[in-house]
C-alpha cells in the first residue's frame, strides 16, 4: 500500500510539472552558439517577424533555431530550457539552465557543409550572447547542450498588431504564453457574420484578403498543443494600421 501511494505521488508530481512547466520532460542533445553582442541589438527583428524584442516582452531571453527545429517558422514563439552539458572546459560549474523564446532562424550554409551547425539535420540554438554566457565562457564559441520544450510564461495578454492595407490585413501575434507557437488563427469582423480562416504569411504573421477596415475585430487563436482562446472584440472599429491591441487573456 505504501509503494502504491509513493508511485501515485510521484506520478501526480510529474503531472503537475508537465502541466505547469514542461511540454516534454525528456532532454534532447543539441549544440549552441551565440550571435550579436551583450546589448542584443543583432537579435532584434528576424525571421519570425517580431520587432523590438524589448518592447514586445522577450528581451534578451531569445534564440535563433536551426532548420531542424525552426519548422519553416511554425516553432516561432516556442520556449526552450537549455543547459550546457558534458564540456567541463567551457561549461560554467553549476550554471543551471536558461529559458529562451524562439524569435529567429539560424540559416544553413550548403556551400560549407562541414562546420556549419545550422545545417540540417543538426539541432542547434544560436542564442543571444547574454544567454550563452549564463551557461559557458564566451570564448567556447560552441558548446554541447541538452534542451527540452517548456511552457512560456508571459506577462499580460496576447498582443495583436494590425498591419497591411485596406485590401490585405496582416496580424502579428506576440507575447503568447503556454505552448507559445501558434498553429491556427481565425478572424471575425463585426460585419463579416462568421469566422474567417487566416493563413500564415511568415513567422508569426497571419493574413487575410478580407476587407476589414471600419469593423471591430475578434480572433480565435489555437496554439500548437490544441488549446484555443477566443478574443472577442479586442480591436475596436476605429483601429488604424500598425496599432497594437491587448487581448487581455493568455494561454
Question: Over the stretch 194-213, which tens digit does the pLDDT of each residue have?
Answer: 999 999 999 999 999 999 99
Residue 127 CA to residue 2 CA, distance in Å, equals: 46
| Integer Cα distance of 249 and 57 in angstroms | 15
Encode pLDDT of 92-136 as tens digits: 998 999 999 999 999 998 887 677 899 999 999 999 999 999 999
Residue 149 sits at φ, ψ, to 5 deg, of -75, 135
Decide: helix, strand or coil at residue 246. strand
Q: What is the reported pLDDT for 17?
A: 40
What is the 3-class SS of 172-209, one letter each residue?
EEECCCECCCEEEEEEEECCCCCCEECEEEECCEEEEC
pLDDT for 12 equals: 33
Low-confidence stretches of the chain (pLDDT < 70) are 1-21, 113
Is 28-149 CATH 3.30.1490.20? no
- Is 5 exposed, middle or buried (CB count within 10 Å of its CB: 0-12, 13-18, 19+)? exposed
C-alpha cell at 200: 500564415
Phi, psi values for residue 244, rounded to 5°: -115, 135
Question: What sections of the chain are H helices per DSSP?
Answer: 2-20, 67-70, 129-135
**Domain edges within the chain:** 28-149, 159-246
pLDDT value of position 147? 98
pLDDT confidence of residue 113: 66
* Bridge partners, 171 (sequence order): 162, 206
* pLDDT reported for residue 43: 85
> Furthest-apart CA pair in the chain: how many Å?
68
Domain 159-246 -> CATH class: mainly beta
**CATH topology match: 28-149 vs 159-246:** no
Which residues, in sequence order, are bridge partners of residue 29? 146
Amino acid at each position: 500500500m505504501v509503494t502504491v501511494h509513493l508511485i501515485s505521488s510521484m506520478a501526480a508530481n510529474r503531472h503537475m510539472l508537465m502541466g505547469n512547466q514542461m511540454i516534454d520532460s525528456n532532454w534532447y542533445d543539441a549544440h549552441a552558439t551565440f550571435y550579436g553582442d551583450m546589448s542584443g541589438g543583432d537579435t532584434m527583428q528576424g525571421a519570425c517577424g517580431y520587432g523590438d524584442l524589448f518592447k514586445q516582452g522577450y528581451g534578451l531571453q531569445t534564440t535563433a533555431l536551426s532548420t531542424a527545429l525552426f519548422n519553416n517558422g511554425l516553432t516561432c514563439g516556442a520556449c526552450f530550457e537549455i543547459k550546457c552539458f558534458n564540456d567541463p572546459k567551457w561549461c560554467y560549474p553549476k550554471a543551471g539552465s536558461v529559458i529562451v523564446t524562439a524569435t529567429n532562424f539560424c540559416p544553413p550554409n550548403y556551400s560549407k557543409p562541414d562546420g556549419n551547425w545550422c545545417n540540417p539535420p543538426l539541432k542547434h540554438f544560436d542564442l543571444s550572447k547574454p544567454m550563452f554566457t549564463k551557461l559557458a565562457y564566451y570564448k567556447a564559441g560552441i558548446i554541447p547542450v541538452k534542451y527540452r520544450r517548456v511552457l512560456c510564461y508571459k506577462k499580460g495578454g496576447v498582443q495583436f498588431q494590425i498591419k497591411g492595407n485596406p485590401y490585405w490585413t496582416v496580424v502579428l501575434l506576440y507575447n503568447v504564453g503556454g505552448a507559445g507557437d501558434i498553429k491556427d488563427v481565425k478572424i471575425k469582423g463585426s460585419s463579416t457574420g462568421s469566422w474567417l480562416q487566416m493563413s500564415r504569411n511568415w513567422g508569426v504573421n497571419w493574413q487575410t484578403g478580407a476587407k476589414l477596415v471600419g469593423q471591430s475585430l475578434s480572433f480565435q487563436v489555437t496554439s500548437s498543443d490544441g488549446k484555443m482562446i477566443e478574443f472577442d472584440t479586442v480591436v475596436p472599429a476605429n483601429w488604424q494600421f500598425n496599432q497594437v491591441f491587448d487581448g487581455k487573456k493568455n494561454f
